[in-house]
Chains A and B, each alone.
Chain A
């Protein structure tokens, strides 16, 4: 709960390994140690979910290795719950019980990989490295989006209204008529919007707003 202040980019990534088979946890843990990846092992999904919700670690920088068949909470269920909790760390499923429908479901829900046991060690390492890289990129993009959203939140209602009108390509004159304001007032608001958003041109403004919009 306390060390929220340490920003996520600074720390090295953490690989979370969730499997009910101790032998697997041991061997995967050792494999990750051998290539210098920091990892934490959990014996079931609940233990991991608890740790996740208690903010004991950096929730952004890392990836999750999930077994499918575990007592109480399955890997797929765990994936759902993590999504509901807003977790964006990539998930790599590692399972002995892989069938096509389960794999397809897991992938549709956004899993990065679905690996069947037994696997070649290099295959897992490659998947982890790739997932960590993707995550890093996503985090950077997200940070930019968050910054923009912060700026958007600083706009007053009126400024917001005018921003939406500008972005849809309306001229000041048109906006003035629609909002029953003078053109001069619109110009002033518009200047404030550009200032608060930290942009110098209409093109930049549109780009920033589009980049921050939720649709991918």
Chain B
């Protein structure tokens, strides 16, 4: 019971990427940081799940089937939800980077990246959001 209560208070990080290997390794690393990770393989998949208000961070790949990662971010913004988002990109496309930043992404990171750097960044984001609420 106690452990269940604790689990409820842990920050949630959403990851949306069609790359299963990436989902797997990032989740493992984040879970070590005492974070709950929820993964999705497409934007539709993500929107079909009820968003939880204590979500602290979203990591999303630009290149997703159908709706891309930036459209996903723009939709979240349109909902009036402020979900700090880090955008990952498997190709280096400047115009996509600009669009992502205009959609108020916190960062835009090209793949391949150093996993620990990303984890540090995510933890930084989480700590900031926790202070606000």
Which A residues contact B (CB, under 8 angstroms)?
98-101, 103-104, 107-108, 113-114, 116
Contacts and interface: CB of A to CB of B under 8 A. Distances in A.
Contacts of B101: 103-104, 107-108
Nearest to B96: A100
Interface in B82-133: 89, 92-95, 97-98, 101-102, 107-108, 110
A114 B92 contact: no
A101 B102 CA distance: 15
A108 B108 CA distance: 10
B94 A107 contact: no
Contact of B95 (A101, A104, A116): A116
Interface residues of B, number: 12
Interface of B: 89, 92-95, 97-98, 101-102, 107-108, 110
Given A101-B110, A103-B101, A107-B98, 8 more contacts: A100-B93, A100-B97, A100-B110, A103-B97, A104-B108, A107-B97, A107-B102, A114-B97
A106 to B, nearest CB: 9
B102 A103 contact: no
Nearest to A101: B110
B109 to A, nearest CB: 8
B102 A100 contact: no
Contacts of B95: 116
